[in-house]
Copies of this chain bind each other. A is one copy, B any other.
């Protein structure tokens, strides 16, 4: 029906605009800090009035929620597209994903935006993504959750220091291979406390 087609066209247009908004939001977050995001600045950057932006995202929280959800979708897609991974390439994928967009990393893995709590649906998405990460590591031979938690934390520590202390260099991430190797050997010989 013609009616259906018009609706689809409208939806596509809307989706494209949302896409533009999210893209600009990451850029602004990188400039002004994630918690410093301003809907006014964002609107200005997109050549619209703040009240027009509100038509797409009626609150700051709804924008953060969309960014949060999108981040988890992106990492999940990244994992899926990479196909089967071994431990080193899984760790490298995670680290690369984090440092390529620091505010996204911050939003997804920390709680630094005052008042922001992911919606139920976004939180469910995050759990699915963590499940995918866990299964990827499982296929790579990391079988219990304690090991997954340890590897995740170790890579996160390098990433976080890299972003905070040396955002343009490689002072911390250059030790990634060393840490991966250390982890692999340790897991092979000594199970972590609390392992299944």
Chain A residues in contact with chain B, CB under 8 A? 32-36, 106, 109-115, 146, 149-150, 152-158, 160-161, 163-164, 171-172, 174-175, 177-179, 181-183, 185-186, 190, 192-194
Contacts and interface: CB of A to CB of B under 8 A. Distances in A.
A157 B172 CA distance: 12
B186 A182 contact: yes
Contact of A35 (B114, B154, B156, B177): B114
Main secondary structure of the interface of A (DSSP, over half): helix
Contacts of A152: 161
Nearest to A35: B35
Given A33-B111, A114-B32, A194-B174, A156 B160 contact: yes
26 contacts: A32-B114, A32-B115, A33-B35, A33-B114, A35-B36, A35-B112, A36-B115, A109-B160, A109-B164, A110-B112, A111-B163, A112-B112, A150-B175, A152-B161, A153-B160, A156-B157, A156-B160, A156-B161, A157-B157, A174-B194, A175-B194, A178-B190, A178-B193, A181-B186, A181-B190, A182-B183
Given A33-B115, A112-B110, A150 B164 contact: no
A152 to B, nearest CB: 7
A59 B110 CA distance: 26
A33 B153 contact: no
A54 B67 CA distance: 36
Contacts of A177: 193
Central interface residue in A146, A153, A185, by most chain B CB within 10 Å: A153
B112 A34 contact: yes
